[in-house]
A and B are shown apart, each in its own frame.
Chain A
Amino acid sequence: MKTGLQCAHWIRRGASRRAIWALAILALAAASLAMRRTRHGSQYWASVYARRRYFNPVDLKLSPHGRRLYVACEGRNEVLAIDTRTRSVIAAIPVGRHPKALALSADGRKLYAANSWSQTVSEIDTRKLQVTRTLPAGWGPEGMAIDAAGRFLYVANALGNDISILRLSSGREISRLSSGHFPEFAARIQGRPWIAIANLLAQPGPADQSPVDQLTLINTATRQVARRILIPDAIQMRHIAQASPRHGGELLIPYLQPHNLVPLITLRHDWYAGNGLAIVQLKGGRPRVREVLLDNLDRAYANGFGAAVALHTPWALITASGADRVSILNLDKLNHFLNTAPVELTRRLDAARHFIVRRLPTGHDPTAVVAGDHFAYIANRADDTITIVDLDRLVIAGTIALGGRQPLTAKRRGQQLFFSAGHSNYGELACATCHPDEGFEDGLVWSFEVPHLGQDIVENKTLLAIRGTSPFKWNGLNPNLATQDGPRTAMYIFRSQGFSPRQVQDLVTYINARRLPPNPYLEPGGRLTAEQARGRELFFRTNTNTGAFIPVKDRCYTCHAPLTHYTSRVLMNVGTATAEDNVQAFKVPSLEGIYMRPPYLHNGEAKTLEEIWTKFNPHDQHGITSDMNKEQLNELIDFLKTL
């Protein structure tokens, strides 16, 4: 039995990869044969390959004189260079996998692209428009900033929860600092020797407390963390913009105010979540955080994402990825409002009218925004366009189409639905609100109306790699994704019409295509370290340390079956139900990508994998683990993190 299951694991980890390699080689051979038959075969196949993929622009940088716009296209693994005068693409520069962020040197000669799935940074010569170097980074590099002297590049590693400091002259990483949870965005602060890092998720904390996000400030002189500014009631901090000194030089960061502990019985008045703007005032010795909502009384502007300040104007631009809008703020009015409004302004839904002067339509899923002297540019991820905003007249001045496959595929249509809040009442939430970064999870527990109001609070689950892991939800009541995304979502979450049957199919196609990023805990080639291998032995063990036989039902692999994504897909009682739960058994979760999604257990009580067994398995109901010593438990966890 044991050997068979280990074989199964071996097949998943080894043989399947070999089979894939063999198939890939065969496919390449066939492709090369086909290429020989055409005069320009390689270009042809490259163009065929490219046409099949969407650009998915996610970050922008504008050259110092504003003549060139650089676009990170994570869908095509390219950086595009656009001539802003002709509004046309002049070059497509291949970089690593899933480029998520760009950083531009002060003189505009070097451009850096963070390749989030390659663990690298591509250095691009902007005159030759070619990659000149590939620099190492940590796991999931997604945000970057260069210090004022142009000597060091600070890279926020989202999966590693840390920040790499790269010396640009040598191209080597000289230091790595701990950040908050899932650092994704970085910016250099003008007038201070600081790099600011915005963390997407809150630090795992008590499940019944409101989340607290963190803005990490790094001193570029000492290259140490200078401050960790806590933002209460906040998650999903995104791009960081800085106002000009004339407007106080404060930092503007769009974020989400989740109301996850309030039972979700309506969406009116931001009952579910508010879309806010954190304003970090840097005057004086101690940074001060003010928060305002960007929503209206009857309309939410879901999923704030990009932020930019037009330096010679009073305008700041904040994109709302779920609302397909960009909000234009008057910084003079914002400062006046902050100085004169009563204390409790954090949750005021009538605040935005005091400082938002315009809401302009964009393309689908607007993400990054950059502002020049007269124009601002917005990357629309889900329709491969760049929206141009005329900053003098505050109107849409045009759109640059990047191309992309036509007609839209089901997956692409599903992507557009996934990021759009238009199907929810008051436009308050999209799928991406709770599942940011294309299907990840927000690390929170949520209180739903059903099955019991205010009870059975459950942890959000990832949508990455969930194909074949049905049924869904912790209570296993949703037999498939179509049920989950169809009427039940419409009735109990969106509180609106929801998706049509075709739209549900598109959405399911998109969600089923979500994949986990490369696992940082796995050696190249899928090899396990000695500790991980010992952990695997523990995972498949049939006897305790004392030699006692472990019943089949109490073995790890029984419920977390390797051949079915490490889940038996049934409900199990592992003794984790609490007084707030009305049921005792919960669906066995998949263990794939488990390292990247704390907190754990159905109610998010375990902040780490260790706590699952050290705190919440007192009676060995969640596997026989009480006989394990600390080293063994660590080895087991080391192995689990490779899944």
Chain B
Amino acid sequence: MWRLKFSFVIAAVFSLANLGFLAAGSQRSIKCALPGFVFVEAPQATLNSAVWRFPHGSRLMRMPAGGGQPVMLTPDFYAAADPRISYSGKKLLFAGKQRRGGRWQIWQMTAAGGGQRQLTHGAADCLAPAWLPGGHILYSCSGGSIGPLGAQIYVARSDGSQAHPITFGPGNFRVEAVLHNGRILVSATAPLARAADSQRRALYTMRPDGSELRLLRWRYPRATNAGQARELADGTILFIARQPGTATGALAWYRPQSPQAALLPPSGAQFGSARLLDGAKWLLSGALAAHAMSKTAPGCGIYVYNAAARAIVAQLYQTSAASCSQATPLEPRLMPLRYFSILHPLPSGRVICLNAYRSMMAPNGRWPRARLARVRVQALRNGRAATLGSAPIEPDGSFYLRLPADLPLRFELLDARGAIVEAQRSWIWVRPGEDAGCQSCHGNPALAPANRWPLALKRRQAPITFGMPGVAPVKKIVRSR
């Protein structure tokens, strides 16, 4: 505890020092032996339900290695944001809007700013690109032709061709990062959650083919939105915990061993993003004074954060005229493992639940066997929830279903009279040919499965099939060149 207090004191000292910089007023930069980085400079950042946006004038700036004056990389754009450096450190993906009223699209350029090339050409706003191993990219698309489900994630080849969605539910999905083990980290809302939480953004992991969507953690800082997440070398997930309605927030992390997020000092600071410099240092963008970056930002800076000391150790850039965010080092990164998809071209996927009786909502964490009788499946079609059917729950709590692929689905556990005992609060989906497994519906996610041959499988029954006729095939919404 005393270490934590000590680090708070150190951080506070640095904060005061940095506030001194801010008080000095106009733009200034500091030389140091760090790699060059690119960042977004904008008059302000605003929020909508899906992602935070940059209005007219947001631009990508490149700070040379060792410091100096930043150079603008996107002079021909109405707005630009979301820079993402390739694993080789030579190319940049970014989201750019060329004219007022146009759509955000995904662009590529060299790290020096040359060779700009548009990769997507759809009638939707495409943002937050990321690189995948194996010559693919992914990004979020919302608005326009995307439809009522909100922002979805798309995967395409690195030239923008063969774009296809990998998410299929309401939730305003946004790409956060590609993890070292090849999974992707996304943030999304849970639209069926209680009203106060319905727009809260949580972190999820999934495979790059859209299968196995899972909540990363289940204990969040109260009433916060998680975003701008990155993975550290030891598996820690670093993210910005924002209060509702703000574009910046506190620095927070999920340690690999802990289900609970922890906020990091300095307290009171409002950061827009955190990126990794190396294992021990991070690049933070934001303002050290509270409320400094809300709506009309009086100024912000880019800082080096020492993870061991848990304190800001240097300021690299500071401006009072605009907000600055998403500072990204221009250096090679470790390429994640490539994931081999095992999806099949089928119209359906299968779901095996091992034990529906286990639930954190039940007394003592387990429903009595007599309480649950069936599982009902609902699908979301044309903005309306429709029941696909129901199936019995086996005596050991298992059920095994075949369900239409790429359709928003949710499960409800029913008693013998058909009354809902427990209902899923968010929408999920199965991909074509996916075998999705869950231990229980609201069971303790920290539990490993019990070693038991599920009766639903052992009885050698085919999975109970729901809602297969009349399912419209998924259309590719984004046109490729």
- Measured CB to CB, the residues of A under 8 A from B are 208, 210, 233, 257-263, 265-266, 268-271, 274, 293, 295-299, 344, 347-350, 352-353, 356, 425-426, 447, 449, 453-455, 457, 487, 490-492, 495-498, 579-580
Q: Which of A353, A492, A497 contacts B258 (CB 8 A)?
A: A353
Task: Report Cα–Cα, A258/B452, bound state, in Å.
Answer: 10
> Are A492 and B342 in contact, CB atoms less than 8 angstroms apart?
yes
Contacts of B439 in A (CB 8 A): 269
A226 to chain B, nearest CB (A): 29
Contacts of A353 in B (CB 8 A): 255, 257-258
> Are A350 and B258 in contact, CB atoms less than 8 angstroms apart?
yes
Contacts of A425 in B (CB 8 A): 181-183, 337
- B384 within 8 A of partner (CB): no
26 A-B pairs in the complex with CB atoms less than 8 angstroms apart: A233-B450, A257-B451, A259-B448, A262-B437, A269-B449, A271-B437, A293-B448, A297-B258, A297-B446, A344-B447, A347-B449, A347-B450, A349-B446, A350-B446, A425-B337, A447-B457, A453-B400, A454-B352, A454-B453, A454-B458, A495-B339, A496-B181, A497-B133, A497-B339, A580-B458, A580-B460
Given contacts A263-B457, A455-B460, contact A270 B257 (CB under 8 A): no
Closest to A579 in B: B460
Closest to B255 in A: A353
Contacts of A350 in B (CB 8 A): 257-259, 446
> Are B259 and A265 in contact, CB atoms less than 8 angstroms apart?
no
Contacts of A492 in B (CB 8 A): 342
Task: Report Cα–Cα, A296/B133, bound state, in Å.
Answer: 26
- Proximity bits, B435-457, A CB within 8 Å = 1, else 0: 11101000011111111111011
Closest to B457 in A: A454
B217 to chain A, nearest CB (A): 8
Task: Report Cα–Cα, A370/B309, bound state, in Å.
Answer: 33
Given A270-B448, A295-B448, A447-B453, 6 further pairs, Cβ under 8 A = A233-B450, A259-B451, A263-B437, A269-B445, A296-B256, A496-B337
Q: Which of B133, B183, B342, B449 contacts A262 (CB 8 A)?
A: B449
Contacts of A454 in B (CB 8 A): 352, 400, 453-454, 456-458
- B406 within 8 A of partner (CB): no
- Proximity bits, B126-151, A CB within 8 Å = 1, else 0: 00000001000000000000000000
Task: Report Cα–Cα, A208/B458, bound state, in Å.
Answer: 9
> Are B448 and A274 in contact, CB atoms less than 8 angstroms apart?
yes
> Are B447 and A347 in contact, CB atoms less than 8 angstroms apart?
yes
> Are B257 and A296 in contact, CB atoms less than 8 angstroms apart?
yes
Contacts of B437 in A (CB 8 A): 262-263, 265-266, 271
- B99 within 8 A of partner (CB): no
Task: Report Cα–Cα, A349/B181, bound state, in Å.
Answer: 19
Task: Report Cα–Cα, A296/B458, bound state, in Å.
Answer: 30
A577 to chain B, nearest CB (A): 12
- B340 within 8 A of partner (CB): yes
Closest to B365 in A: A344
- B242 within 8 A of partner (CB): no
A267 to chain B, nearest CB (A): 9
Task: Report Cα–Cα, A212/B451, bound state, in Å.
Answer: 11
Within 8 A of A (CB), among B150-188: 181-183
Q: Which of A261, A296, A496 contacts B339 (CB 8 A)?
A: A496
Task: Report Cα–Cα, A263/B398, bound state, in Å.
Answer: 13
Given contacts A271-B449, A349-B446, contact A297 B256 (CB under 8 A): yes
B427 to chain A, nearest CB (A): 20
- B212 within 8 A of partner (CB): yes
Contacts of A270 in B (CB 8 A): 448-449
Task: Report Cα–Cα, A257/B448, bound state, in Å.
Answer: 10
Closest to A423 in B: B337
Q: Which of A257, A265, A293, A487 contacts B340 (CB 8 A)?
A: A487
Contacts of A274 in B (CB 8 A): 448
Contacts of A348 in B (CB 8 A): 444, 446-448
Task: Report Cα–Cα, A505/B159, bound state, in Å.
Answer: 33
- B338 within 8 A of partner (CB): yes
Contacts of A295 in B (CB 8 A): 448
Contacts of B133 in A (CB 8 A): 497
Contacts of A579 in B (CB 8 A): 460
> Are A262 and B340 in contact, CB atoms less than 8 angstroms apart?
no
Contacts of A457 in B (CB 8 A): 453
- Proximity bits, B219-238, A CB within 8 Å = 1, else 0: 00000000000000001000
Where chain A touches its partner, the secondary structure class is loop
Contacts of A491 in B (CB 8 A): 340, 342
Closest to B179 in A: A298
Task: Report Cα–Cα, A425/B211, bound state, in Å.
Answer: 15
> Are B447 and A265 in contact, CB atoms less than 8 angstroms apart?
no
- B275 within 8 A of partner (CB): no
Task: Report Cα–Cα, A425/B256, bound state, in Å.
Answer: 15
Closest to A457 in B: B453
Closest to A261 in B: B453
Closest to B463 in A: A453
Closest CB pairs A-B (n = 5): A454-B457, A270-B448, A353-B257, A497-B337, A261-B453
Task: Report Cα–Cα, A269/B443, bound state, in Å.
Answer: 13
B458 to chain A, nearest CB (A): 7
> Are A453 and B435 in contact, CB atoms less than 8 angstroms apart?
yes
Contacts of A455 in B (CB 8 A): 457, 460
Given contacts A453-B350, A454-B453, A491-B340, contact A297 B447 (CB under 8 A): no
Q: Which of B183, B257, B435, B452 contacts A297 (CB 8 A)?
A: B257
Closest to A293 in B: B448
- B92 within 8 A of partner (CB): no
- B479 within 8 A of partner (CB): no
A94 to chain B, nearest CB (A): 43
A423 to chain B, nearest CB (A): 8
Given contacts A262-B452, A263-B435, A349-B448, contact A498 B235 (CB under 8 A): no
Most buried by B among A271, A298, A299, A344: A298
Most buried by A among B183, B257, B337, B339: B257
Closest to B256 in A: A296
Given contacts A262-B451, A262-B452, contact A449 B257 (CB under 8 A): no
Within 8 A of A (CB), among B22-71: none
Most buried by A among B217, B340, B454, B456: B340
A495 to chain B, nearest CB (A): 8
Closest to B447 in A: A347
> Are A298 and B256 in contact, CB atoms less than 8 angstroms apart?
yes
A49 to chain B, nearest CB (A): 40
Contacts of A490 in B (CB 8 A): 340
Contacts of A298 in B (CB 8 A): 235, 256
Task: Report Cα–Cα, A455/B339, bound state, in Å.
Answer: 25
> Are B352 and A263 in contact, CB atoms less than 8 angstroms apart?
yes
Task: Report Cα–Cα, A353/B236, bound state, in Å.
Answer: 14
A583 to chain B, nearest CB (A): 13
- B117 within 8 A of partner (CB): no
Task: Report Cα–Cα, A350/B352, bound state, in Å.
Answer: 24
Task: Report Cα–Cα, A257/B456, bound state, in Å.
Answer: 23
Most buried by B among A257, A261, A348: A261
Contacts of A297 in B (CB 8 A): 217, 256-259, 446
Contacts of B409 in A (CB 8 A): none
Q: Which of B350, B445, B449, B457 contacts A259 (CB 8 A)?
A: B449
- B85 within 8 A of partner (CB): no
Contacts of B458 in A (CB 8 A): 208, 454, 580
Q: Which of B257, B338, B352 contacts A356 (CB 8 A)?
A: B257
Contacts of A497 in B (CB 8 A): 133, 182, 337-340
Closest to B439 in A: A269
Within 8 A of A (CB), among B346-363: 350, 352, 354
Task: Report Cα–Cα, A282/B256, bound state, in Å.
Answer: 33
Contacts of B333 in A (CB 8 A): none
Task: Report Cα–Cα, A293/B257, bound state, in Å.
Answer: 11
Given contacts A263-B437, A497-B338, contact A349 B454 (CB under 8 A): no
Closest to B340 in A: A491
B358 to chain A, nearest CB (A): 10
Task: Report Cα–Cα, A259/B447, bound state, in Å.
Answer: 13
A417 to chain B, nearest CB (A): 15
